[in-house]
Amino acid sequence: MLETMRWQAEESFLELLDQTALPHETRYLKCYDYSGVAAAIKRLAVRGAPAIGAAAAYGLVLAAKNIMARSSREDFIAGVEIAARELAATRPTAVNLRWALDRLIKRLYAVEAVDPGALYDILLGEAHAIYREDVADNRKMGCYGQELIPDGARILTHCNAGALATAGYGTALGVVRAAREAGKAVSVYAGETRPLLQGARLTAWELLREGIPVTLITDNMAGYLMAKGKVDLVIVGADRIAANGDVANKIGTYSLAVLAEKHGLPFYVAAPVSTIDMSLTSGGEIPIEERDPAEVTHMAGRPLAPAGVNVWNPAFDITPHHMVTAIITDRGIVRATYRENLMKIFAGG
């Protein structure tokens, strides 16, 4: 399986698979400083909530590497915190980004070491742990989630919630992989996902490479596809889930939930607990990133729309909890009432 990122231990730098070049070219960006990682996250060279969390963690390690030689403990922590603020601001919706950065900073405060070299080693260890745990959590999610997938299911997904969006295996596509590993003959419809085409460029490519049957559709075909009885269920990932179960995910997810409800189809969300933000009571409080209008007016750098037209380009939308059949997490499957049942999985119950 292709790696979304790899830490080059000998020279201490990060390589990121440049997802903007896929599916035509497989190339890695070399990041020697946190600002390179921040720029890569902003331009979606690395994208998908868990992947940007892990990349930001390594970004913080790079910030630490570049200041450790000339810092006291206090200066070192202050410098790392400046970098963390800059990394956290790159993409506001995916909570995994802030979750990963907070986890590293907490580790710094939890140890008594004064030597910045030792603190750097601790940060690197924690970034590696986030990366490793993400793959393990996705496999657990796959195990739980595949129970919901009937043999022969035709699954509609949106955006890319696969290996490319994570440290490996994927969330929504992890469930598909696990169903296949359990011997089920499943197939996938991938919505192309305008404006940046993560479905067409990434999901179609990822599934084709593995020999998982995939059919590409444009986003506006989903309703007719369901009306023709060609879909059994929908599974998507998430960028943030509020305490009441409202889900922020790639723009267009809400439209699929409405269509699924209309056609009586299950609508599942697969996400690790690091995507659940219990500090927000509902989806209305989730910050929604708005991106460059050129993403809508242009395709592959070429203008499609008249110059000067007004554009609205929210990158995510909110699907209300009552439209979500179940949330598949690495700690099990959660159903309504979400507020109560999400609290239970956090409490370990």
Angle of CA points 130, 132, 138, to nearest 5°: 95
Total residues at interface with ligand MRU (CB under 6 A) = 19
Residue in 127, 153, 315, 342 binding ligand MRU, rule: CB under 6 A = 315
Query: Does the protein bind ligand MRU through residue 161 (CB under 6 A)?
Result: yes
Query: Does the protein bind ligand MRU through residue 325 (CB under 6 A)?
Result: no
The single residue of 239, 277, 317, 330 carrying the catalytic annotation is 239
**Closest approach of Cβ 280 to ligand MRU, in Å?**
17
Query: Does the protein bind ligand MRU through residue 48 (CB under 6 A)?
Result: yes
Closest C-alpha among 241, 225, 299, 297 to residue 273: 241
Residue closer to ligand MRU by CB (options 50, 283) is 50
Residue closer to ligand MRU by CB (options 59, 116) is 59
Could you tell me the two tokens for 178?
């696990």
* Known catalytic residue at 239: yes
What is the number of residues in the chain?
Answer: 349
**Which 3-state string (H, E, C) describes 149-186?**
CCCCCEEEECCCCCHHHCCCCCCHHHHHHHHHHCCCCC
Residues 166-225 that bind ligand MRU (CB under 6 A): 166, 171, 198
Closest residue to bound ligand MRU by CB = 237
84 to 113: interface string for ligand MRU, x by CB under 6 A: ----------x-------------------
| Biggest CA-to-CA distance, the chain | 66
R_g of the chain, CA atoms, integer Å: 20
The answer to whether the CB of 159 falls within 8 A of the CB of 94 is: no
Residue in 54, 55, 104, 165 binding ligand MRU, rule: CB under 6 A = 165
Which residues, at least 6 apart from 144, have a Cβ–Cβ distance to it below 8 Å? Answer: 328, 329, 330, 332, 333
**Closest approach of Cβ 94 to ligand MRU, in Å?**
6
In angstroms, the Cα distances linking 296 to 5, 230, 292 are 28, 29, 8
Q: Which residues in this chain contact ligand MRU in the complex, by CB under 6 A?
A: 44, 47-50, 94, 159, 161, 165-166, 171, 198, 236-239, 249-250, 315
